[in-house]
Amino acid sequence: MRTDTPQAIYLKDYTPPAFQIETVDLDISIEAGFACVTASLACQRNPAAADPSASLVLNGEDLKLESVRLDGRPLGQGEYVLCADQLMIHAELPDSFTLTTVSTINPDGNTQLSGLYRSKDGYFTQCEAEGFRRITWFLDRPDVMAKYTVTIHADKAQFPVLLGNGNPVGAGDEEGGRHWAKWEDPFRKPSYLFAMVAAKLDMLEDWFVTKSGRKVRCAVYVEPGKLDQCGHAMAALKKSMKWDEDVFGLEMDLDHYMIVAVGDFNMGAMENKGLNIFNTKYVLARPDTATDIDFQNIDRVVAHEYFHNWTGNRVTCRDWFQLSLKEGLTVFRDQQFGMDMHSAGVTRIQEVRTLRTAQFPEDAGPMAHPIRPASYAEINNFYSATVYEKGAEVIRMIHTLIGKDAFRKGMDLYFARHDGQAVTCEDFVAAMQDASGLDLTQFKRWYNQAGTPKLLVRGAYDAATKRFTLDVEQQYPATAYEKRLEAEGRAVARGAYHLPLVIGLLGADGRELPLRLAGESAAADTQRVLSITEDRQQFVFEDLAEAPVPSLLRGFSAPVVLDYPYSQADLTHLMARDSDAFCRWEAGQRLATDILMAGVAAFQAGSGDTLAWVPAGYVDAMRALLGSAFAPGGDPALVAEALMLPSEVVLIEATEGTVDPDAIHAARLALRRHLANELKGPFAAAYHELKIDAPYSPEATQAGARALRNACLSYIAEVDDAESLALLQNQFDSANNMTDSMAALSALAQFASPARDAALERFLAKWKDEALVVDKWLQVQSTSRAPDTGARVRALLDHPAFDIRNPNKVYALIRAFCAANPKHFHAADGSGYALAADAILQLDALNPQVAARIARSFDRWRKFDTQRQSLARMALVRVQGHDKLSRDVAEIVGKALE
């Protein structure tokens, strides 16, 4: 039985590997029921190793060792030792030698989906972070970079497509209806970027000519019959290739770039060199099967994996503590790409929403960690919102502080210095510092300190001197992370962050006022980047004839919580007039949050239903907002975002003190219904006005109009009368694309009604063979507020459409329920917690990575009342007490219970 958090490993303990591996020659034969792997490793003693006589210790997991040879000589017992997950070579080793191992593995029984595994009718690999050791014995760490060749053998009829990294260098037939193919990757790479595929797949092919004239073959491989769903991914790939050349001067370096889609995959996609493996969710799309958001996500994920070719593959991580070196930077790059391809404002707003829904709670809970953690038990638990999303914000701050041109120079310098190397976050920051001349010493605290800093800003206007004074204070209390370090007796240095605060000042007429700081001779601009470095700082703006409304943290210039005592009038003003799209949206969110918090208090006091907590002008502000979409220069996509009230998850995070999920739910729903009733006419008019007659396209303008139209639909649905039901039903029946179909289905699914049941049944009947659409069917039910949701989710676990071995299904039904349905997950009787605990235990035996992700649902359990806390604790203790718990889940529940 396991009772505590598993053993941690520490960044400070990093030492260079004792050996380097120059070349890897793999032979992988897929047989019925097993696979045989022969690996020849050309090894060399590493002159940089701490111990010049260290023995060779290879990692391996779930491998059956058949034989070991050293320079061709079979090693006998006594010359090597096999112990838990390690193969130690004790034989005397020359400075360079070839070690050959033969092992058998069981890909058909590999339910973890790490290493080589079977999915439907094919074999696929996933090696990041430590999956290569599940294929063969190896120094499975990213600072060991080798050149790989692989020969794959398999049955030709069953597995006609055999793929590897790099270039195809040979192929042929073998006895017994089998065939082989050999691939050679000309670039050195760490083992986590190895990939191979043996499957029956259809292929879409296209060509991209790079700026230097290299003709790259682009191929997208999918399950047979799905070729009509790959066009968007292919287009996204070509756009990404062009964008990286235009913006960063980075060119594709191989002759083949392949994307393979697989239905069973733990994550979104994987950037293996020249052979990306993707979750089908981020490849397959057709207007009738995928929503506008799905199309956008495909653009982003395809771009993300492509951009990794430089930021991740050509320059990789020295160790897994440096994960944000590649992930934060690559997310930043895919965000910039998204802003260039779609609406910049809307893209940024969506990112901030993700950050607040996923990363802020993480940073405030038991799993808090800096973007570069100092320790971890299981690296798979650190593919986190912090490493990815906050990591990208940190890169964005560098970009804002030094400017676009210096950032580009910094990137150039980074590649000039480190191409082909495995490096650290310091190396990246050093390149940015050297290219820009800006001292980033203090800035590096973002890599070592956890938690979301709070920025307290206060403004004061003095009419006599025409001065506006901004006082800025930062607060960064210790998180669970620092408390743990302290308990371990390890030093915790904390200090003020260096961050960019981008601001403007608005006059009463909405004009942007010129900004002249005290001591300057002339106003520089109407927007400025204030460099915040101290605990407390003051900025004095001169020559202001009127009291301005400050527009703060434009574009969300730093990942902080901003505290400024805006009046409701200020917020309405910013919402209508700010030139910065993010700040306009933010003002609306802030206004709604203030109102909803008053509503929560009213519901707790029993007076919520009176709606006395909704201020007089709010409905008019929302009416004006909706109207602005139709004014010249209006942006429907942005208005759609602004019409959406902050989610229950965001409101839970915004709550100081004990969270009451029922009151939060009640207040938010009451405000939605109030708006729906008061603005019934405008919502209906907008809905009809926005009807799209053109053929479906996922591009931004059309998608934006659809987003606003469906936002109106979701309000109309709240009126809950025959007329609105008819409208929903009509959209559901006549939709010619998945966006509209899902919008209607999701509105219908909020009510336990015969109309809901009929719609769900018809939807499943139509789409039962389209796995990704079945996922939507599951998720629309698991995220419903309808009173019977908990029971329905339980029942769906046994439905033939659900499969606990498929991560997408688990995420759609279980994770969405736990993470995006607080009302039901935090049900007062503990039924949501029990459901999660049952699922975690069942999953842990199959797929610990996925189980650990579900276990993260308990992160915020201490924010709730004592009754809920004791039920959550029971669930966590039940999980923790299970024997044979994986390291993955043990780390999560151990930290949650600390």
> What residues line the site for ligand PHE (CB under 6 A)?
126, 128, 267, 269-271, 304-305, 327, 383
Beta carbon nearer to Zn ion, 392 or 780: 392
CA 139 from centroid of its chain's CA atoms: 28
Nearer to ligand PHE, 5 or 114 (CB): 114
User: How far is 647 from 665, CA to CA, in rounded Å?
Assistant: 9
**Partner from ligand PHE, Zn ion, none contacting 267, C-beta within 5 to 8 A by type:** ligand PHE
CB closer to Zn ion, 326 vs 776: 326
Q: Residue 826 is encoded by which pair of tokens?
A: 């935090």
Q: Rounded CA gap, 670 and 718, in Å?
A: 10
Alpha helices in 552-660 (DSSP H): 568-577, 581-604, 618-628, 636-643, 648-654
Q: How far apart are CA 494 and CA 694, in angstroms?
A: 56
Enter the DSSP assignment of 875: H
Q: How far is the CB of 625 from Zn ion (least distance, A)?
A: 36
Contact 391, 327 (CB under 8 A): yes
**Of 130, 223, 305, 327, which one is the catalytic site residue?**
305
Q: Residue 489 CB, nearest distance to ligand PHE (Å)?
A: 32
678 as an active site residue: the answer is no
Q: Which option in ligand PHE, Zn ion, none does residue 128 bind, with CB closer than 5 to 8 A by kind?
A: ligand PHE
In the numeric block, which tokens belong to residue 492? 């915790």
825 binds, among ligand PHE, Zn ion, none (CB under 5 to 8 A by kind): none
Measured from the Cβ of residue 601, the count of other Cβ atoms closer than 10 Å reads 15
- Cβ pair 398, 338 in contact under 8 A: no
For the bound state, the minimum distance from the C-beta of residue 175 to ligand PHE, rounded and expressed in Å, comes to: 36
> Is the Cβ of residue 267 or residue 422 nearer to ligand PHE in the bound state?
267
Indicate the residue among 268 and 514 with the shorter CB distance to ligand PHE.
268
Partner that binds at residue 449, options Zn ion, ligand PHE, none, CB closer than 5 to 8 Å by kind: none
DSSP labels, 422-446: EE-HHHHHHHHHHHH----TGGGHH
Distances in Å between the alpha carbon of 631 and those of 129, 197, 580, 586, 690?
A: 50, 53, 17, 21, 13
Q: Are 749 and 732 in contact (CB under 8 A)?
A: no
Q: From the list Zn ion, ligand PHE, none, which binds 660 (C-beta under 5 to 8 Å, kind-based)?
A: none
By beta-carbon proximity to ligand PHE, the closer residue of 252 and 622 is 252
- Which part of the chain contacts Zn ion (CB under 5 A), choosing from 48-56, 139-147, 166-174, 323-331? 323-331
Q: Which stretch binds Zn ion (CB under 5 A): 319-327, 389-397, 460-468, 755-763?
A: 319-327
Least distance to Zn ion from the beta carbon of 300, Å?
11
Q: How far is the CB of 566 from ligand PHE (least distance, A)?
A: 37
Of 179, 39, 204, 203, the residue nearest 105 (C-alpha) = 39
The mark string for 773-802 relative to Zn ion (x by CB under 5 A, - otherwise) is ------------------------------
Stretch that binds Zn ion, among 72-80, 131-139, 325-333, 493-501 (CB under 5 A): 325-333
Please say whether the beta carbons of 668 and 645 come within 8 A. Answer: yes
Q: Which stretch binds Zn ion (CB under 5 A): 324-332, 338-346, 739-747, 782-790?
A: 324-332
Task: Name residues contacting Zn ion, limited to 327-346 (CB under 5 A).
Answer: 327, 330
Where do the H-state alpha helices sit in 735-864?
738-748, 754-767, 771-782, 789-796, 807-810, 816-820, 822-825, 831-844, 848-855
Which one of ligand PHE, Zn ion, none is in contact with 393 (Cβ closer than 5 to 8 A by kind)?
none
SS3 338: helix
126 binds, among ligand PHE, Zn ion, none (CB under 5 to 8 A by kind): ligand PHE
CB of 806 to ligand PHE, least distance (A): 16
- To the nearest whole angstrom, how small is the minimum distance from the Cβ of residue 660 to ligand PHE? 36
Choice between 327 and 641, CB closer to ligand PHE:
327
Q: What residue number has its CB nearest to ligand PHE?
A: 267
Residue number, 327 or 844, with CB nearest to Zn ion? 327
- The least CB distance from residue 324 to Zn ion, in Å, is 10
Alpha carbons within 13 A on the beta-carbon side of 505: 25
The partner in contact with residue 653, picked from Zn ion, ligand PHE, none with C-beta cut-offs of 5 to 8 angstroms by kind, is none
Measured CA to CA, the distance from residue 482 to residue 476 in angstroms comes to 11
Radius of gyration of the chain (CA): 28
Active site members? 305
Binding-site ranges for Zn ion (CB under 5 A): 327, 330
